[in-house]
């Protein structure tokens, strides 16, 4: 039987230091379920974004006439959007900090400020969309080159904008719930993970979509 002993002795080794306990004990890896769930969601969502970004790269590399239409004003606008989103992430950090210190009104205030950053980002973004649509950019057509420019632009930024918009509602729900003591500091932290992730995705989209397509004169 000695050849069958491997797993048993391995388990016995584990016992010395790693006995997860049921309900109220220490958690394995000290990760609360909600936080782990959010991390896993972020992993899968990041892969969805990666697939779309991969598609963009695949088609852009194959295209001979990928347009570079973004003039300085467009880049400036996108830079302001980036600044707003990054600032909202700072507000999010302060909200998480306030909530973990038990400062309810401070946490709610910072959460609302974060959501406000998201709203401003959305408004600037939609204004930009409308401007491009006014110039004749469609998912299936644009005045400058391969029609895939519009398709990739609207798909990537649209998917991201959807995430920001969902995030705004999510943060407001958390703010109201935390204000009424229905949600814990962990819930605020978990919503922060989501928000930072959405911010991080933009840090890929901004250079890939805007800076790579800046107008060169």
Partner 1 sequence: MANMPMEAQSHHHTAPTGFIRKYIFSLDHKVIGKQYYFLAIVSVFLGMVLSWLVRIHLVWPNVHIWGLGALSPAGAPGGVISPEYYLSLLTIHGTLMVFFVLTTAPQAGFGNYALPIQIGAEDMAFPTLNMLSFWVTFLALCALVSTLFVEDGPPISGWTAYPPLSAVGSIAGPGQGMGQNLWAVSIALFCIGSLLGALNFITTTVDLRCKGMTLMRMPVTCWAWLITAILSLLSFAVLFAACVLLILDRNAGTSFFLPAGLLVNGQLQNHAGGSPLLWQHLFWFFGHPEVYIAIVPGFGVISHVLSVFSRKPVLGYKIIVICLLAIGFLSFTVWGHHMFLSGMSPYSGFLFSIPTLIITIPATIISLLWLGTVFGGRLRFTTSMMFALGFISVFVTGGLGGMFLAQPSLDIFLHGTYFVVGHFHMVMGVAAIFGMFAGTYFWFPKMFGRMMNERLGKIHFWITFIGVYCIFMPMHFIGLEGMPRRYSSFVSEVMQPLMPVHKFMTIAALITGASQFIFFFNLFWSMYKGTKATENPWESTTLEWTVPSPPPFDNFGGKHPVVYHDAYEYGNVQSGKDYVMQTDPAEQPARS
Q: Which residues bind partner 1 (CB under 8 A)?
A: 1, 3-12, 14-15, 18-34, 36-37, 40-41, 43-52, 54-55, 58-59, 62-63, 138-140, 146-148, 150-151, 155, 159, 184, 186
Long-range contacts of 147-150 (CB under 8 A, 24+ apart): 148/59, 148/60, 148/63, 148/66, 149/66, 149/67, 149/69, 149/213
Shorter beta-carbon distance to partner 1: residue 62 or 130: 62
Query: Min. distance of Cβ 207 from partner 1 in angstroms?
Result: 20
Query: Min. distance of Cβ 34 from partner 1 in angstroms?
Result: 7
Shorter beta-carbon distance to partner 1: residue 14 or 215: 14
Element (H, E) at 14: helix 6-15
Backbone angles phi, psi at 127, to 5 degrees: -60, -40
Query: Min. distance of Cβ 126 from partner 1 in angstroms?
Result: 18
Please answer whether residues 60 and 66 qualify as being in contact, where contact means their C-beta atoms are separated by less than 8 angstroms: yes
Query: Min. distance of Cβ 88 from partner 1 in angstroms?
Result: 25
Please answer whether residues 154 and 139 qualify as being in contact, where contact means their C-beta atoms are separated by less than 8 angstroms: yes
Shorter beta-carbon distance to partner 1: residue 84 or 156: 156
Shorter beta-carbon distance to partner 1: residue 84 or 132: 132
Shorter beta-carbon distance to partner 1: residue 11 or 76: 11
Query: Min. distance of Cβ 150 from partner 1 in angstroms?
Result: 8
How many alpha carbons fall within 13 Å on the CB side of residue 109? Answer: 7
Cα torsion at 107, 109, 113, 114 (round to 10°)? Answer: 20
């Amino acid at each position: 039987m000695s050849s069958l002993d491997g797993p048993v002795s391995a388990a016995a080794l584990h016992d010395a230091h790693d006995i997860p306990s049921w309900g109220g004990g220490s958690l394995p890896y000290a990760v609360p379920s909600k936080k782990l769930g959010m991390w896993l969601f972020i992993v899968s969502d990041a892969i969805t974004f990666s697939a779309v970004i991969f598609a963009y790269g695949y088609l852009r590399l194959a295209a001979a006439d990928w347009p570079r239409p973004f003039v300085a004003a467009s880049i400036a606008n996108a830079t302001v959007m980036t600044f707003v989103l990054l600032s909202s992430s700072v507000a999010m950090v302060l909200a998480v900090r306030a909530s973990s210190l038990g400062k309810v009104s401070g946490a709610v205030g910072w959460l609302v400020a974060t959501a406000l950053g998201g709203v401003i980002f959305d408004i600037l973004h939609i204004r930009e969309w409308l401007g491009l649509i006014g110039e004749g950019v469609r998912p299936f057509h644009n005045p400058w080159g391969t029609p895939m420019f519009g398709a990739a632009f609207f798909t990537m930024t649209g998917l991201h904008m959807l995430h920001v918009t969902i995030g705004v509602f999510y943060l407001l729900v958390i703010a109201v719930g935390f204000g009424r003591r229905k949600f814990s500091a962990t819930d605020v932290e978990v919503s922060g993970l989501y928000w930072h992730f959405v911010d991080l995705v933009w840090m890929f989209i901004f250079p890939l979509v805007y800076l790579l397509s800046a107008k060169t004169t």
